[in-house]
Amino acid sequence: MAKIAHLVPLGFLAFTSVVAAPGSAIEVRHGVGKDCVELEVPVLVVATDNEYNIPRVDNNIEAADWSVNVTTWSLLVDPRARIVRPVPINATFKINAKLCVPNQRGPRSDILQIATQGNGFDKRYWDVEPSPEKYSYVEAAIRAGYSILTYDKLGTGRSDKPDGYTHVQIPSEVEILAGLTKLARAGKLASSPSRILSGRSTVGDFIPRKVVQVSHAYGSILVQSVLSKYGNLSDAAILTGFYPSSKQGIVNVGYSDHEYAAEHDRNKFGDYGPGYIVLTTRTTQQRLFFHGEEFEPRLLDHANWIKQPKTVGTFASQLTNQFIPAGNFTGPVKVSFSMAFISVST
């Protein structure tokens, strides 16, 4: 099992093996396969993001300047003091999502897990390619009999990549998760105007009996907001890489090296515009996410290979949700600083 430290709440936890808890009552069924459908889902977002007084990041030089600027400021001043004006968002974004259900129905197959990864990764975070039987959370969930929805957060993978300053921020990302959850609950993920990109279309009509939010790091910040704003939308939640405290959400970006995404790797990230940054090297990934001697180096290579850009707007917006208690949410919650303590059967 990989040994990991979580120094960056907005980041992600590296790949740990996912296993059913020893002696758990959950029967893990071997040989269970899955039916999946990959979808492009238009999600209407009505939210209020903000314009912030932060430097422009349109090249590598400016990315380094930005990091010094926001690090200096964040150590001294609440980032909310940088708000210049609110930016109302009323737009439909195309979100790439993958819904998988066990191909043998069982008592848990109508429980849908919706998985939201940390910053800097797309949905492949949950379906690790090297040794998936050991490291893929999707495979583990299916083996334990659950259905699971993964998605590329706004500005990653095959989802839309709007303005990196004003449009990819916590308030709009919260509405995207809420919107996907509503569609999933209604069995309408695959209904028009969604597009089916591959897989079995009937899977998209699946109506879950229960919805469980599963998240890591930045994803957990989004889930916490969804639980507080839309309490009756979820039946349970597992928040990993999450440590609610007075310092939650304040990230010292000076600790990690970012470059301008389009300049860092033109082949991979050439279609990313202003305000999109990406972690630089394999060593940066290691410093942030892989600690100790026990992790498999090929997982570090894989993490660096699948890494995704993130936006300066996300970092600027990190305190906007203010951790309002989820007064209307009555389901069970598991909070874990690390993911290594999580088993799919909890």
Ligand X SMILES: *[C@@H]1O[C@H](CO)[C@@H](O)[C@H](O)[C@H]1NC(C)=O
CB 44 to ligand X: min, Å: 8
Nearer Cβ to ligand X (72/281) = 72
Residue 36 to residues 11, 197, 198, Cα–Cα distance (Å): 27, 11, 8
Strand-pairing partners, residue 277, are 260, 310
Minimum distance from residue 228 beta carbon to ligand X (Å): 7
Alpha carbons 219 and 299: distance in angstroms, whole number = 21
* Min separation Cβ 277 and ligand X, Å: 15
Rounded to a whole number of angstroms, the minimum distance from the CB of residue 328 to ligand X is 4
Closest approach of ligand X to the CB of residue 68, in Å: 7
Given the complex with ligand X, which of 90 and 245 has the nearer CB atom?
90
List interacting residues with ligand X (CB under 6 A): 46, 53-55, 69, 72, 90, 232, 327-328
Of the two residues 57 and 278, which places its CB atom closer to ligand X in the complex? 57
Comparing CA positions, the residue from 125, 130, 141 lying closest to residue 28 is 141
Sheet holding 83-102, edge to edge: 195-199, 34-52, 83-102, 147-151, 111-116, 210-216, 236-240, 333-336
Give the nearer residue to ligand X in terms of CB position, either 21 or 324: 324
Q: CA 224 to CA 249: how far, in whole Å? A: 12
Task: For residue 162, say if its preceding peptide bond is cis, omega within 30 degrees of 0.
Answer: no
- Cβ–Cβ < 8 Å for 113, 212: yes
Q: Which is nearer to ligand X, 74 or 156 (CB)?
A: 74
- Closest residue to ligand X using C-beta atoms: 327
